Amino acid sequence: MKRFGVMSALLSLVTGSLSIAGGPDGATIFRAKCQLCHTTRQVTPAQREKLLGPPIDEVVLKVKEKYPIREDAIRFIADYIRTPSIDKALCPSLDRYGLMPSMEKTLTEEEAKCVAKMLVEKKLSGEDRKKDLSPPRQ
Ligand code: HEC
């Protein structure tokens, strides 16, 4: 991981990028850029009405059903979040939420791969879930 040397670590402090020493951290990226729309909690039907996007566990399950091979699932997510489209979408909830906005401008390819890998490998811990500040709160 030569790309994440001291200079880029310093740079990321300045630019507020989500990289930490050694590269970006998937859970951190997820919390900052995905959780608002993709809750990590179990939701009741009433809470579901308030969500901006489908709960992340449901999303990941759907992706894994379609792409059982780990690398394919990671590739799909990393690609989708930067360039979502109706053709690619697997979620049956498109009608309810509309298409996910592209994160191409806010997420580098590296960060996209990193968060995708974390999701597919189920690296969201109980701690991460506790810090979930996404809308449904009652
Ligand atoms: C502004 C809200 C919003 C944000 C932020 C957001 N998403 Fe989404 N996402 C959605 C919505 C709405 C859908 C369901 C519609 C769709 O599939 O495009 C979705 C769908 C998805 C899907 C499933 C695509 C499919 O096959 O249909 C994945 C995977 C996903 N999001 C991952 C992420 C990740 C990872 C991030 C953070 C980098 C993120 N999303 C950030 C709203 C969001």
What are the pLDDT digits (tens) for 110-131?
999 999 999 999 877 777 787 7
Let me know if residue 18 belongs to a domain: no
Let me know if residue 1 belongs to a domain: no
Let me know if residue 138 belongs to a domain: no
Taking alpha carbons only, the member of 27, 26, 20, 28 closest to residue 1 is 20
More confident residue, 39 or 135: 39
Q: What is the pLDDT of residue 126?
A: 79
**pLDDT > 90 in the chain, percent:** 57
Distance 81 CA to ligand 1 centre (A): 6
Number of domains in the chain: 1
32 CB under 6 A from ligand 1? no
Domain that holds residue 97: 25-130
Most confident among 21-25, 81-85, 93-97 (mean pLDDT)? 81-85
Let me know if residue 76 belongs to a domain: yes
Let me know if residue 66 belongs to a domain: yes
Ligand 1: which of 35, 38, 90, 118 to mutate, judged by most atoms within 8 Å of the beta carbon? 38
74 CB under 6 A from ligand 1? no
Let me know if residue 57 belongs to a domain: yes
pTM of the predicted model as reported, rounded to 2 decimal places: 0.83
Q: What is the pLDDT of residue 131?
A: 77
CATH number of the CATH domain containing 85: 1.10.760
